[in-house]
């Protein structure tokens, strides 16, 4: 993590970074150039745009009523088995129109962007039938085309076993019907899907079903990026390493062997401190993973169960609850999260040739972004995507830098 002082950064009209370095050197280098906009960052910090490596942002039917049940001690699986949880949201998402889903997705992505996220992984998974899953993926595609924010799209049809089906039937349906349709829409350019996801969990999809679905997704060119070892040790990490997964999320119950296998396979661990916090689970073993050489990334896991848009809050929780250093948390929310999405060659750091996605914060020390828990709303001054200012915070202009 390099910190440059008295530095400048130049983004070209193509949206890519042209130069980053000492201000006087850059001033000479670009003395003949004309700029559309110059932002004075004296006393401020410029950081890479944050990358949220795991979200579920397309759904109708919030679960505010279940929050009270959880606080009273009901477990995630108890609520799920009583027809709540994912099932509750699925019913509402199936009924919602595409326009309705698009408009809420747009608002959610805007909130994420105001909290500094410039690249977000977005999952389907509240349809569980082909028609609704495709509706969700079309909504994500619309946002990808129309909004100034990076999106990595994930097909998560195996998020839960739909009512009236067994896990085996759901697995066959996904492999025989969903994925061939997805392949067809991908080839025609109608929907760009990047990743395939499965909730590998006891009482959801077992290891063998997970293997079959992930392999079938890989066969149509999707990156493997799935939920594993969250509530029970399932050997998901070992499976992911073997299949060449790009990333595995959660991992609260990962085995020591699984950690070693992921490090060897260069498979990223996407840790979600909001989930462990909300559900009072044991925290993922971030320290052990870092010591073993695993690429550790972070995600907000934004969904009706963990309603958090803010990567700065996620980084704060990662430092306090998962014992990461601030440098490790920033890397996990930028370059490592980009790696988990297969985009670290273009995103996640301020380097020449990479996309000009950046944040300017109203502080002379970048650590304030993590230190101020929930304080990002008055701290983030500008959010820039591909060199274009997509959010400007007027409040920062009247407040002295802190």
pLDDT tens readout for residues 16-33: 999 999 999 999 999 999
First CA to last CA distance, the chain: 22
Q: pLDDT grade, residue 149 (50/70/90)?
A: very high
Residue partners of 131: CB distance under 8 A and separation at least 6: none
| Within-domain flag for 380 | yes
pLDDT at residue number 30: 97
CA atoms within 13 A on the CB side of 344: 17
Using one digit for the tens of pLDDT, what is the confidence trace for 194-251? 999 999 999 999 999 999 999 999 999 999 999 999 999 999 999 999 999 999 999 9
* Angstrom distance (rounded) from CA 251 to CA 284: 6
Using one digit for the tens of pLDDT, what is the confidence trace for 59-112? 999 999 999 999 999 998 899 888 889 999 999 999 999 999 999 999 999 999
pLDDT at residue number 402: 67
pLDDT at residue number 1: 66
| Within-domain flag for 357 | yes
DSSP string, 371-396: HSTT-HHHHEEEEEETTEEEEE-THH
| Within-domain flag for 370 | yes
Is the model's pTM score more than 0.85? yes
Angle between helices 179-187 and 130-146 (to 10 degrees): 30
Tokens (6 digits) for 197: 């996801």
| Within-domain flag for 187 | no
Q: Please name the residue ranges forming H helices in 22-97.
A: 23-29, 64-71, 76-81, 86-95
Region 183-188 average pLDDT: 97
pLDDT at residue number 391: 98
Angle between helices 130-146 and 86-95 (to 10 degrees): 70
* Angstrom distance (rounded) from CA 75 to CA 88: 16
Strand partners of residue 303? 306
Number of domains the chain contains = 1
| Within-domain flag for 37 | yes
Region 45-71 average pLDDT: 95
Q: Give the distance from CA 341 to its chain's centroid.
A: 8
**DSSP character at residue 267:** P
Region 162-166 average pLDDT: 95
| Within-domain flag for 15 | yes
| Within-domain flag for 16 | yes
Residue 123: phi, psi to the nearest 5? -105, 150
Does the CA dihedral 64-69-72-76 come out positive or negative? negative
Residue partners of 304: CB distance under 8 A and separation at least 6: 56, 59, 61, 62, 63, 88, 89
pLDDT at residue number 21: 96
DSSP string, 203-220: TSB-HHHHHHHHHHHHHT
* CATH classification of the domain holding 380: 2.30.40.10
Type and span of the H or E element at 297 = strand 296-298
| Within-domain flag for 249 | no
Using DSSP, state whether 120 is helix, strand or coil.
strand
Q: pLDDT grade, residue 374 (50/70/90)?
A: very high
Domain residues for the domain of 37 are 7-47+349-392
pLDDT at residue number 398: 79
């Amino acid at each position: 993590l390099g910190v440059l002082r008295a530095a400048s950064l130049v983004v070209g009209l193509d949206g890519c970074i042209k130069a980053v370095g000492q201000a006087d050197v850059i001033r000479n280098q670009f003395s003949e150039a004309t700029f559309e906009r110059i932002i004075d960052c004296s006393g401020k910090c410029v950081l890479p745009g944050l990358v949220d490596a795991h979200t579920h942002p397309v759904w109708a039917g919030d679960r505010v009523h279940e929050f009270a049940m959880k606080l009273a001690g009901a477990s995630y699986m108890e609520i799920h088995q009583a027809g709540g949880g994912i099932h509750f949201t699925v019913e509402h998402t199936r009924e919602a129109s595409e326009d309705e889903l698009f408009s809420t997705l747009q608002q959610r992505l805007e909130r994420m962007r105001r909290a500094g996220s410039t690249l977000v992984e977005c999952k389907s998974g509240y349809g569980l039938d082909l028609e609704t899953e495709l509706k969700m993926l079309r909504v994500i595609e619309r946002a990808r085309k129309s909004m100034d924010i990076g999106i990595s799209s994930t097909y998560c049809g195996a998020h839960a076993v739909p009512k009236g089906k067994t896990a085996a039937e759901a697995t066959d349906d996904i492999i025989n019907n969903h994925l061939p349709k997805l392949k067809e829409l991908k080839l025609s350019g109608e929907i760009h899907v990047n990743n395939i996801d499965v909730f590998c969990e006891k009482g959801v999809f077992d290891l063998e079903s997970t293997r079959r679905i992930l392999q079938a997704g890989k066969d149509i060119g999707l990156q493997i990026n799935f939920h594993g070892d969250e509530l029970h040790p399932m050997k998901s990490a070992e499976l992911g390493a073997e299949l060449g997964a790009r990333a595995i999320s959660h991992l609260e119950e990962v085995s020591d062997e699984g950690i070693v296998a992921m490090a060897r396979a260069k498979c990223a661990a996407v840790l979600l401190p909001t989930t462990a916090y909300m559900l009072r689970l044991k925290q993922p073993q971030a320290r052990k993973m870092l010591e073993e050489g695993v690429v550790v990334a972070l995600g907000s896991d934004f969904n009706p169960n963990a309603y958090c848009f803010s990567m700065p809050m996620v980084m704060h929780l990662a430092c306090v609850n998962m014992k990461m250093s601030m440098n490790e948390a920033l890397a996990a929310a930028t370059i490592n999260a980009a790696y988990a999405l297969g985009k670290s060659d273009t995103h996640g750091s301020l380097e020449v040739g990479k996309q000009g996605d950046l944040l300017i914060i109203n502080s002379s020390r970048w650590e304030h972004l993590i230190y101020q828990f929930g304080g990002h709303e008055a701290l983030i001054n500008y959010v820039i995507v591909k060199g274009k200012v997509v959010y400007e915070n007027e409040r920062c202009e009247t407040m002295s830098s802190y």
